[in-house]
Amino acid sequence: MPRIMETLAPTHEVAVDDLPSLLNANIETISECLAAGRFTSVELVKTYLARIEEASYFKAVLQVNPDALTAAQDLDDERKQSGGRGPLHGIPILIKDNIATKDRLDVSAGSFTLLGSKPATESSLVGRLRAAGVVVLGKTNLSEWANFRGLKIRAGWSPRGGQTMGTYYPNSISDGSSSGSAVAAALGLCAAALGTETMGSIVDPAQINNVVGFKPTRGLVGTDGAIPISKRQDIIGTLTRSVKDAAFMLSNMAGRSKLDPMTWQIPFEPIPDFTAYCKGTDLQGVTIGVPRNTFTSSNCSAPIMDSFESALTTLRSAGANVVDSADFPAVDEFKKLNQQIKGIVRSSEFKRDIVDYLATLETNRNDIHSVEDIINFTKTSPAEGYPDHDIGKFLWTQAEGIDVNSEKYSRMVKQEQYYGGEGGILGTIEKYRLDVLVTPSTLGVANDLAAKMGFPVITVPLGFYPDGIPIEHDHGGMVTVAPGMP
């Protein structure tokens, strides 16, 4: 694991041993070092690029930005001439390959279907981050179409990038769909990474790669420029080494976008500095609910539950009022719904929203204009790996009544609002006067319901499986549980 500039010939005398390792470097430390002139953004980018090459086995990075060094040089020159823009000036980040950038990088959702096809405009959120001074290092691998292609495809696989590998055990899963972004954050391939989430796509891979995954409230950040599944649920978030790094990113991501009407209702202006809330551990006055009926001990292994109970003890010792068994009123009804029924709303919205996105393309190399075109290309292009990799979720969109104007869709939207609202998260928060809910990692249905309501979710590292635990594999032989895995 190289330290910053360790692999380079420094342009000025620097005590390399005093510089942070890329594996542990955080935004605050890197920003302070840049401001103090201990290294430059160009030197930092070169070191990250060397680290990306060193860790190529994990297939986390799909594409490197050929103009990253030029951008870094421009920011170094600007710093010399007029000072830094703020804490993100010269900070290198990676971006999931379903978020549009106005540069020479592709935006394809990991699919050859959209390779070479780009919107006319960049994601407004990426534009905000560029204005804050970030350097876009490249694009990360992901579950193809953000895991909305097949029912039997392993998370973290895309035709363009192959299988993203997990970070803590040989041949282990990475989860997804923001697989590459989570692995990149874990391995020190960037200072921070952007992912997207419709339901679990940030927090799931964050959990298994031992990083902080943060999904903001829908409407707090612009989601225009992201290849959609559901514009109502989709959100761009972060994968970072720490909560404070997520706060640095959010402070520069949040705000109204002309291209995303859901951001027009943000109740505060200007956007606050969210890092101001990352001070101390005094939780006096904070009430935390544990909705135990959203997860069961039979679905949670003993090491996870032991770590979770220990975390609750820590929260209590910090002054929090922990309300145990703050259960969701209608969770049993929700659990009875099968996967396809739960997917009716997302299938209907994908069918509509992908057409809207395709209409924004400035170039459309494969003449793709609808879900039907996507299905046809996937089935007929050998590079897409069909039928070994199925298209089960695509086919959901072709079922009867899968339409945003259908009675079936309207009924299910109302059900979702009930299960996540009065019958779930909101009902429980109001009944017990809670500030926040906690669950053991991503297990159970609480995160699903939060996604349907557009509520924020953050996952933080909880621990590791102990020595001696039996190794478990998925149906394809990749490791899912092993000693030392998160």
Catalytic residues: 96, 177, 201
What is the signed CA dihedral for 216, 128, 247, 54, rounded to 10 degrees? 100
DSSP state of 176: S
- DSSP labels, 232-299: TT-EEEEEESSHHHHHHHHHHHBS-BTTBGGGGG---SSPP-GGGG-S----TT-EEEE-GGGS-GGG
- DSSP labels, 371-434: HHHHHHHHHH-GGG-TTTS--HHHHHTTSTT-STTSHHHHHHHHHHHHHHTTTTHHHHHHHHT-
Q: Which of 157, 158, 159 is nearest to 174 (CA)?
A: 157
Report d(CA 293, CA 301) in Å as an integer.
16
For β-strands 162-163 and 212-215, DSSP reports them as unpaired
| Angle in degrees, CA 78, 82, 88, rounded to 5 | 60
Report d(CA 52, CA 368) in Å as an integer.
32
